A and B are shown apart, each in its own frame.
Chain A
Amino acid sequence: MKLVNPANKRKYKILMVGTGLGGGAGAATLGELGYNVECFCYQDSARRAHSIAAQGGINAAKAYPNDGDSIRRLFYDTIKGGDFRAREADVWRLSQVSNNIIDQCVAQGVPFARDYAGYLVNRSFGGAQVSRTFYARGQTGQQLLIGAYQSLSRQVKAGKVKIHNRREMLDLVVVDGHAKGITCRNLITGEIESHWGDAVVLATGGYVNVFYLSTNAMGSSVTANWKAAKKGAFFANPCYTQIHPTCIPVTGDHQSKLTLMSESLRNDGRVWVPKKAGDKRPANEIPEDERDYYLETKYPSFGNLVPRDVASRNAKLQADAGKGVGASGYAVNLDFRDAIKRDGEKAIRERYGNLFQMYEKIVDEDAYKVPMRIYPAPHYCMGGLWVDYELQSNVPGLFVLGEANFSVHGANRLGASALMQGLSDGYFVIPYTIGPYLASTTPGAVTTDHDAFKESKAQVEANIEKLRNIKGNKTPFEFHRELGKIMWDNVGMARSEESLKKALTEIPKLREEFWQNLKCVGNDKEVNQQLENAGRVADFLEFAEVLAFDALNRKESCGGHFRVESQTEEGEALRDDENYAYVAAWEYKGEGKAPELHKEPLKFENIHLAQRSYK
C-alpha cells in the first residue's frame, strides 16, 4: 500500500459529505493525519446527523464477560446474520477493529455503562448468543456521535477541518473519470456552490425513506448517493432493506415518521399475541395460557433475540393471521411484566428508562403497567454504493462510508452493528485506504475553474428551475406518501414477481405525474424546505425503480429480501447459492433505460454456507 508522507498530507484536500459516525469520525481522523478536510452536512450542526438516533448499542469482540466471544465469532455471527451475502474480508476487518473502536470512544469520554467497580458492562442483541454490546443508556448513538463531533471540533480549532453546514450535495463532479468535487446548495441563501477536492468521500447514510414512513430522519434521502450513481458509481444490492421489528405502530395518515423502540428491549421484553384470532381484550386481561409467545416457541435457542428480519416477518405472519393487537390489528405485544417481576421496576427503569418515556409520550400509555405495542417499520438499508475493500467506488477518487456503502451487512444487518461499521470505516479504514489513491494523484490538479464544475452547476440550477416551474397541484409530501405506499405494499416485507412488476409499472407513472403536477412554492434564493423536499422526492422516484428492479432480479430470499416464491417449508427465507451468491451492482444507463447489472461473485473461504437457523 502506498503512503503519503506527513509533510505532503497537508497539500491534499478531501471533501467529506455527511457528518454522522462514518463522516464525522473520518473527517476528524483525516484531519488528525494532516490532510485538509472540508465537511458538508444539511443540518445546522455536524452534531445532528441521524447516527445520533441509534439507541441500543455497539458491538465489539472484547469478550469482557468471558462468555467465549472472539473476533472469529463476531465475524461468523455477522456473516450468518447477513444471510451469507457479505464479503468475508470486509467483515473480518470490521470484527478486528471493533475492539479499537471501544478503546477510542472511551478515551474521548464516551460514557458507556459500567458496573460499581468501574468496569464496562455488556448486553445482548439479536443474532448473537454472547453479550458483546456496549451501550450508554438508550442513547448510544448520541454519545458516540458526540464523541466523533468532539474530535471533529478539535480539528476545526486546529484549522485542519472546515465545516460547511446547511449544505445539500446535489451533484458529484467527475473529471476524466475521477471524482474531483461536488456541487451543493446552500440551504440558507439558496446559492449553488462548487467545491473541489483531491478525493470525495460520501458518508451520506441510507435510503429507506423511499418507503416514506421509516425510522430515518426527515432529511435522510438517497439524493447524494443517487447523484453519484448517475455519474457512474454502481449501486449495489439496493433491494436489501431492513424492516425493524420493534417500532411504534402507525396511527393515522398524518404520520410523518415512525419511532423505533430499541432492539435492546428484547433482552427483557417478551413478544406475544393472543392465541385466538380476533381476541380484542386488553392485554392484561388475557390469561397466560391464552398467550402465544411465538418467537420463544418457534426459536427456542434465540427466543426473542432472533435477528431483525426473522422477528419482523413473524410479526407480519401473526398480523396476517388476524392475531395482531391494537386498534389497527397491525401490532404485537412486547411485554415487560415478567422482567419487572424478576428484576424489579427500578432495574428495568435504569436499563430502558428513556425508551419507556419516549413510548409514553407518543402512545400515552405506561409500558411498566401494560405491554408495549410494536410493529415492523423500514429502518436501515444494507444496500448502497458499491465499494472495493478500500471503500473506493468504481469511480476512482470516490469513497463511500457507513450505511451509504453496501459492504459488510449482507442481506440483513444485526443489531448494534451499524454504529460499529460507521466508526470502523471512519476511524480505522478510510484514514489508511485513501492514501494509495491520493499518492497516485497531483494535489490541487483540478479546481473549480474546470469546465466540469460549471457544467455541473448549470445542470443543478436547471433542475431547480424545472421543479419550480411545474406549477401543478400536488405537494412533494403527497407524492412521497404515494411512492411510499407503492413501495411498502409491493416491495416491502414480502415481495413477489407479481407485486414487483406492479411496482415497476406504478413508479414510472407516478414519476411522470410528478414532473407534470408538482406544486413547489417559494423562492429558490432563500430557505425553501419545499424545494429541498421536491428534489429528494424526485430522486427517490428514480431510485425506487432500481430497488424494485434488483428485487425482481434476485429470485431468492435472503435476509431482509423475502421473495414469497422462495421459502422453506417453515416459511423461512430460502437462499439460492448456486445462482445468487453475488453482489448485484447496478450501473445507471440513462433516463428511462434499464440499469445494467454487474455481478461480483461472493467467495467464502472461511465459512461454510448453510441454511440460517435460529431454532
Chain B
Amino acid sequence: MSEKTMNLTLYVWRQANAKAPGKMERYEAKGISPDMSFLEMLDVTNEQLIKQGIEPIVFDHDCREGICGMCSQVINGVPHGPEELVTVCQLHMRRFNDGDTIFIEPWRSKAFPIEKDLMVDRGAFDRIMQAYGYTSITCGGAPDANDHPIPKWQLDRAMDAAECIGCGACVAACPNASGMLFTAAKVAHLNMLPQGKPEGARRVKAMIAAHDLEGFGNCTNHYECEAACPKGVKTAFISYLNKELIKALPKGAQD
C-alpha cells in the first residue's frame, strides 16, 4: 500500500447522446492513490464532480476483473491504455506519474455508435454472433462428452481463440475499424473443434457477411488489433479465417 497520492489532469470525451456533438473537457483528478484501478480513479473523479454540481462522466464497466468485456476506453490513444494484456478495469494508477495529463476517449468506429460520453453500442458484435457464432445443438441430444477426443494441442488452440471477451478493442485500434479479429476468434474457436466442424463452411461465410454488413472495415494487416487485445488473441486466427473462407467458397452450391 503506497501512501503518496497523485494529482492528474484529465481530458475526457463528453457527448450527451448519439446525435449530439461531443468535445474533450478538462478535469482535475486529485488525491489519486497508485493502488487504484483506472476506473476507481474515475469513480473518485466523478464523486468530486458531483460535489461541484457537474454531471459525472458516463462509462461502461461491470465485473472489474477483466473478463466481462464491458469497459471500453481509449487512454492516451491506446484502447485499454498503456499496459499490455489488460482491460481498463485492471489498469492501475501506478502506471502513471504525479502531474500526468491523460486523454480518455470512447471506442471510435462507425459500427459502434456512441451512446453517451465513453459508452458505445456494441450490438454489431451480437449480430455477428447471431449470424452463425454457434453450433446447432439442441439441448438434450448431446452425446457423452468424451465421445470425441480432442488432443490437447488442438483444444489449446481453440481455447486461445475462445479467450476473446468481445470488448471491441480490436475495432478501436484498427485504422480500418475492422472487426475481423473478433470474427476470426469465434470462427476459429468453433471450426477448430470437432463439434463445430460440420457447419464450418456455412459459419465462416455467414459471419463474414454479417461483419461486412455492420459497416466494419476490412483487414489490411496492420496488427494493431493484436497489440490492443487484452486477452492476447492472435492475428494468426485471421489467417485461419481466410483459409477457412477459401475452403468454403467452392462449396457455395451445396451450402
Most interface-central of B16, B37, B86, B129 (chain A CB within 10 A): B129
Question: Judging by beta carbons under 8 Å apart, are B55 and A111 in contact?
Answer: no
Cβ-based interface call for A118 (8 A): yes
> With A217-B62, A217-B63, A529-B56 given, is the CB distance from A112 to B152 under 8 Å?
no
Question: Judging by beta carbons under 8 Å apart, are A119 and B149 in contact?
Answer: yes
A100: chain B residues at CB < 8 Å are 140, 142
Cβ-based interface call for B253 (8 A): no
A255: chain B residues at CB < 8 Å are 40
Contact partner of B115 among A47, A475, A527, CB < 8 A? A527
A156: chain B residues at CB < 8 Å are 126, 130
A519: chain B residues at CB < 8 Å are 50
Number of A interface residues at 8 Å Cβ cutoff, please give it: 83
Cβ-based interface call for B47 (8 A): yes
Contact with A along B134-155 (1 / 0, CB 8 A): 1111111111111011111011
A residues 507-538 near B (Cβ < 8 Å) are 519, 521-522, 526-527, 529-530
Question: Judging by beta carbons under 8 Å apart, are A521 and B70 in contact?
Answer: no
Cβ-based interface call for A345 (8 A): no
Question: Judging by beta carbons under 8 Å apart, are B1 and A327 in contact?
Answer: yes
Cβ-based interface call for A589 (8 A): no
Cβ-based interface call for A142 (8 A): yes
How many Å lie between the Cα of A285 and that of B117 in the bound state? 49
How many Å lie between the Cα of A321 and that of B159 in the bound state? 44
A residues 210-228 near B (Cβ < 8 Å) are 215, 217-219
Cβ-based interface call for A567 (8 A): no
How many Å lie between the Cα of A109 and that of B190 in the bound state? 6
Cβ-based interface call for A102 (8 A): yes
Question: Judging by beta carbons under 8 Å apart, are A526 and B116 in contact?
Answer: yes
Cβ-based interface call for A153 (8 A): yes
B125: chain A residues at CB < 8 Å are 45
Shortest distance from the beta carbon of B59 to any chain A beta carbon, whole Å = 8
Contact with B along A426-465 (1 / 0, CB 8 A): 0110010000000000000000000000000000000000
Cβ-based interface call for A3 (8 A): no
Shortest distance from the beta carbon of A250 to any chain B beta carbon, whole Å = 10
Shortest distance from the beta carbon of B60 to any chain A beta carbon, whole Å = 7
Cβ-based interface call for A129 (8 A): no
Contact partner of B193 among A64, A109, A362, CB < 8 A? A109
Question: Judging by beta carbons under 8 Å apart, are A254 and B44 in contact?
Answer: yes
How many Å lie between the Cα of A150 and that of B165 in the bound state? 13
Shortest distance from the beta carbon of B234 to any chain A beta carbon, whole Å = 16
B154: chain A residues at CB < 8 Å are 118
Question: Judging by beta carbons under 8 Å apart, are B139 and A526 in contact?
Answer: no
> With A106-B145, A114-B155, A119-B146 given, is the CB distance from A153 to B134 under 8 Å?
yes
> With A115-B152, A519-B50, A526-B16 given, is the CB distance from A104 to B139 under 8 Å?
yes
Most interface-central of B53, B61, B116, B140 (chain A CB within 10 A): B140
How many Å lie between the Cα of A29 and that of B138 in the bound state? 8
Question: Judging by beta carbons under 8 Å apart, are B155 and A260 in contact?
Answer: no
Cβ-based interface call for A157 (8 A): yes
A154: chain B residues at CB < 8 Å are 130, 134, 136
A136: chain B residues at CB < 8 Å are 159, 162
A50: chain B residues at CB < 8 Å are 62-63, 68
Question: Judging by beta carbons under 8 Å apart, are A118 and B65 in contact?
Answer: no
Question: Judging by beta carbons under 8 Å apart, are A109 and B142 in contact?
Answer: no
Shortest distance from the beta carbon of A545 to any chain B beta carbon, whole Å = 26
Most interface-central of A28, A259, A328, A361 (chain B CB within 10 A): A361
How many Å lie between the Cα of A540 and that of B37 in the bound state? 25
Question: Judging by beta carbons under 8 Å apart, are A53 and B68 in contact?
Answer: yes
> With A113-B155, A217-B62, A252-B35 given, is the CB distance from A106 to B68 under 8 Å?
no
B122: chain A residues at CB < 8 Å are 44-45
Once A and B bind, how many residue pairs between them come within 8 Å at the CB atom? 221
Shortest distance from the beta carbon of B113 to any chain A beta carbon, whole Å = 11
Cβ-based interface call for B33 (8 A): yes
B residues 185-207 near A (Cβ < 8 Å) are 189-190, 193, 195-196
A residues 461-476 near B (Cβ < 8 Å) are 475
Cβ-based interface call for A301 (8 A): no
A residues 528-578 near B (Cβ < 8 Å) are 529-530
Closest residue of B by beta carbon distance from A114 = B155
Contact partner of B86 among A47, A151, A251, A361, CB < 8 A? A361
Shortest distance from the beta carbon of A251 to any chain B beta carbon, whole Å = 5
Contact with B along A136-158 (1 / 0, CB 8 A): 11010111001001110110110
Cβ-based interface call for B158 (8 A): yes
B60: chain A residues at CB < 8 Å are 44
Contact partner of B152 among A25, A106, A114, A151, CB < 8 A? A114
Question: Judging by beta carbons under 8 Å apart, are A64 and B165 in contact?
Answer: no
Contact with B along A21-41 (1 / 0, CB 8 A): 000010011001000000000
Question: Judging by beta carbons under 8 Å apart, are A116 and B151 in contact?
Answer: yes
> With A142-B165, A431-B139, A475-B50 given, is the CB distance from A149 to B129 under 8 Å?
yes
Contact partner of B134 among A108, A114, A188, A364, CB < 8 A? A108
How many Å lie between the Cα of A119 and that of B94 in the bound state? 43
Closest residue of A by beta carbon distance from B206 = A157
Cβ-based interface call for A48 (8 A): yes
> With A45-B125, A251-B1 given, is the CB distance from A28 to B139 under 8 Å?
yes
B163: chain A residues at CB < 8 Å are 137, 139
Question: Judging by beta carbons under 8 Å apart, are A143 and B92 in contact?
Answer: no
* 28 residue pairs A–B, Cβ–Cβ below 8 Å: A44-B121, A45-B123, A48-B62, A48-B70, A50-B68, A52-B63, A53-B63, A104-B139, A108-B195, A109-B195, A111-B193, A117-B151, A120-B146, A142-B67, A143-B162, A150-B135, A151-B134, A151-B139, A154-B136, A215-B65, A217-B62, A251-B1, A254-B40, A256-B37, A327-B1, A428-B139, A475-B51, A530-B50
Beyond the given pairs A109-B135, A251-B35, 18 more chain A to chain B contacts, judged by CB atoms under 8 angstroms and listed by A's residue number, are A32-B138, A104-B137, A106-B148, A109-B193, A114-B155, A118-B148, A118-B151, A139-B163, A151-B134, A156-B130, A165-B123, A254-B36, A256-B43, A259-B65, A357-B85, A361-B66, A427-B139, A529-B56
- A-B complex: 10 closest residue pairs judged by Cβ atoms: A118-B149, A150-B134, A107-B142, A103-B142, A106-B145, A527-B116, A111-B159, A107-B137, A217-B62, A48-B68
**B interface list, Cβ under 8 A from A:** 1, 16-17, 33, 35-37, 39-40, 43-44, 47, 50-51, 53, 55-56, 58, 60-70, 83, 85-86, 90-92, 94, 115-116, 119, 121-123, 125-126, 129-131, 133-146, 148-152, 154-155, 158-159, 162-163, 165-166, 189-190, 193, 195-196
